[in-house]
Amino acid sequence: MDKVTFLAEWDRFMVLGSGIFLGIGILIFLFYEIKIAQIKDPKEKYDYASTHEIRYFWYALLAVVIAACIFLNSVATSAVASRYTWLIYVRLVSTGILGIIAYLFTNSTINVYYPRYLMKRLNRIRNKPRISPDGNIMRKLSEEEEDPHLEAHMIAEEASDVHSVDYDVWIDEKTGHKKIEKYYDYQQTEECPRCGYYTLKIEVEEVITPPTNDNTGVLHKHYKCSFCGRREMRKIVIAALATNVD
């Protein structure tokens, strides 16, 4: 194969490869958006988004980064190889290094900056008015109003602080239809006091002193920031069992 034909084939495969990875990135993004749009129940949408959104978004951006790196190897190939053909391989290695840098940047961008946006989106989903089977807009009860609608073990879970369980109660005031949704706060991220990013998350929950019917217990929540590495421990008092179930 002569040099001209080789360079033409090189460009063709680079453009084709970049197009394939760009298409993969777009397909991943569209797949997620279509999937989330098909979920009508807000609680199911909340759970799906909190579990999968960052991962899908990361895959999509990674595919785009790879596409960009491959495409760079098709730009001005004849000029790069005008003297030495091996220079196009040097460029290939160089763009590979740039790809790794772009990967690290993409990873940091998604894991550091995106959670702030995601938490706002999740809060909008969580507080979006529910619709009852009769088509009426339901009202979300306040913390003070919801206890009479919860079972004893639900109240105990909220009061204990173990696993950071929280319940939302929605009620159709016209028909009395009630919907109870369970959320786990440990799945969410908080703003880190050191770096200011929403990358602080519960890593371990440890019951130091189990509660009894007469005495409170002690729970230690260990947090870790995935960006700056900050660790902190928060001491939580667990209500006495008798108090929890009253």
Q: Is the same domain home to 7 and 119?
A: yes
Q: Domains in the chain: how many in total?
A: 3
pLDDT digits (tens, 9 = 90+) for 178-232: 999 998 766 677 788 888 777 788 888 788 888 787 888 888 888 888 778 899 9
Q: Which long-range contacts (CB under 8 A, 24 or more apart) does 5-14 make?
A: 6/85, 7/77, 7/78, 7/81, 7/88, 10/73, 10/74, 10/77, 10/88, 11/74, 11/77, 14/70, 14/71, 14/73, 14/74, 14/77
List the domain range (segments joined by +) for residue 26: 3-127
Q: Is the same domain home to 143 and 175?
A: yes
Q: Is the same domain home to 135 and 113?
A: no
Distance CA 94, CA 236 (A): 52
Q: Is the same domain home to 85 and 135?
A: no
Distance CA 168, CA 159 (A): 14
Q: Is the same domain home to 218 and 169?
A: no
pLDDT digits (tens, 9 = 90+) for 8-34: 888 888 899 999 999 999 999 999 999
- Of 158, 128, 151, 179, the closest CA to residue 236 belongs to 158
How far, in whole angstroms, is CA 88 from its chain's centroid? 39
Q: Is the same domain home to 28 and 95?
A: yes
Using the structure block, give the residue that is written with the tokens 């190889």: 81
Q: Is the same domain home to 140 and 76?
A: no
Q: Is the same domain home to 123 and 148?
A: no
Q: Is the same domain home to 49 and 80?
A: yes
Cβ atoms of 146 and 97 within 8 Å: the answer is no
